[in-house]
Amino acid sequence: MRTHNGNPVREPVPVVLAGARGHGRWHLNNLRNLAEAGRVKLVGVCELRPLDAAELDGFAADDVVQTADFGELLDRTGARIAVICTPIQTHTDLALVAAERGVHLLLEKPPAPSYTEYERMVTGVAAAGIACQVGFQSLGSHAVSHIRDLVRDGSIGEPLGIGAAGAWARDEAYYRRAPWAGRRSLSVDGGTGNGTGTGNGSGTGRAGRTVDVVDGVLTNPLAHAVATSLALDGATGGDDLTAIRTELYRANDIEADDTSCVELTTRSGSRVTVAATLCAELPDEPYVIVHGSQGRITFWYKQDRVLVQRAGRGPQESVHGRTDLLANLVEHLATGGETPLLVPPAATGAFMRVVEAIRRAPAPLALPADAWSEVPADRPGVVRRVVHGADGLVAASADGLTGFAGLGVSWARSGAEASS
């Protein structure tokens, strides 16, 4: 470490990014911002097809090693941190490739497609002694601790439960963007174990088998709704859930679910319900409601916005800051662990129990043809499927802490699965 006027000057931390297209573009932009602030230096990108100059805008191409081999990338760059934003089924294998080299991780959510793979990742990370942060960005919001404080102080009376609602839209092209999109599992034909197939492809690095993917609405696009609800309840560990009830449906011609609900019971007896759809009529911001005997707190977690409504008092709205998870990981390393990680793997154990329950549940039920219709999407020549009344349905679930079947929806009278 250099010093300036007797004060330590931190050198930028060398970072590589595995998976720089799709959602990886968000990470690339975030790396650009942190690099401009002198916190990190992008030294490598792992993609099947190298990024061009326009995609690398802001980075010197000569300073960024590009290869489709993740292990080779780590060896050539000497990176200290790897950001992994690759297909779900590749997460564990690539995390362990990094762990074997002592490289710290920011691992995109969901951390793994099954609880077994999650445990394999956790065991490998622990054995290597590296730091691992899971990419639930909403858990970096300062609103989370603010809401916990409000509940602890009795601001809304006795806690009654937590409900979350997500009404998003995804068109048919979304499910054609990659071989793994909208899949519950995938046959893998090749791979070498060194991280090939990390871009928009489907390889896992181990050949000749079928792998879990579990790319459903609650496990991937709106996974934050599940994780944020569990975090607000304080039920984040792998043993914190005593019952999980799933209702999985699909309007699209896919394997996975696009309109679903989970009802959870925690070890402390709390009720948590999360309902979400990718077939909304009018897409809107997802939110979490903390219900109390004397009021409620609504948290729009993508906006860091909180609304407190209490009996006999006017509504109070506030907007909160957010700590970036990669910046938090950098600070954790710089302080020798004194700055705690915001989302270590252990904090995603309950979420992974939900993923496992969805993975083990029967295939999602196809909604009847009269339950949905096709409408034009935002892109010319592309359509998307809309479930009639889906927006109100997920909102009613969050309001009433009940699943679709409990709301009396005709197509939701069967198909629920309970596990514990």
Output the six-digit token pair for 124: 């490998």
Q: Which domain holds residue 297?
A: 143-180+215-321+346-419
DSSP assigned state of 340: -
How far is Cα 26 from Cα 8, in angstroms, rounded to an integer?
A: 31
**What is the CATH number for 55?**
3.40.50.720
What's the total number of domains in the chain? 2
**What is the CATH number for 394?**
3.30.360.10
In a domain, 31, yes or no: yes
**DSSP output for 92-153:** HHHHHHHHHTT-EEEEPSSS-SSHHHHHHHHHHHHHHT--EEE--GGGGBTHHHHHHHHHHT
pLDDT, tens digit (0-9, with 9 covering 90-100), for 104-134 = 999 999 999 999 999 999 999 999 999 999 9
Q: Are residues 46 and 155 in the same domain?
A: no
Q: Over the range 317-347, which residues count as b (16 or more CB within 10 Å of their CB) and which as e?
A: eeebeeebbbbbbbbbbbeeeeeebbbbbeb
How far is Cα 161 from Cα 259, in angstroms, rounded to an integer?
A: 22
In a domain, 328, yes or no: no
Per-residue pLDDT in tens (0 to 9) along the chain, 420 residues: 555 455 566 899 999 999 999 999 999 999 999 999 999 999 999 999 999 999 999 999 999 999 999 999 999 999 999 999 999 999 999 999 999 999 999 999 999 999 999 999 999 999 999 999 999 999 999 999 999 999 999 999 999 999 999 999 999 999 999 999 999 999 987 443 333 344 333 334 455 689 999 999 999 999 999 999 999 999 999 999 999 999 999 999 999 999 999 999 999 999 999 999 999 999 999 999 999 999 999 999 999 999 999 988 999 999 999 999 999 999 999 999 999 999 999 999 999 999 999 999 999 999 999 999 999 999 999 999 999 999 999 999 999 999 999 999 999 965 556 665
In a domain, 207, yes or no: no
How far is Cα 16 from Cα 228, in angstroms, rounded to an integer?
A: 27
**End residue of a domain, out of 68, 103, 130:** 130
Q: Are residues 57 and 157 in the same domain?
A: no
Q: Are residues 108 and 28 in the same domain?
A: yes
Confidence (pLDDT) at 120: 98
pLDDT, tens digit (0-9, with 9 covering 90-100), for 198-246 = 433 333 445 568 999 999 999 999 999 999 999 999 999 999 999 999 9
In a domain, 338, yes or no: no
With CA atoms as reference, report the closest residue to 18 among 92, 70, 71, 63: 70
In a domain, 89, yes or no: yes
In a domain, 79, yes or no: yes
How far is Cα 149 from Cα 153, in angstroms, rounded to an integer?
A: 6
In a domain, 415, yes or no: yes
Q: Are residues 158 and 111 in the same domain?
A: no
Q: Are residues 43 and 155 in the same domain?
A: no
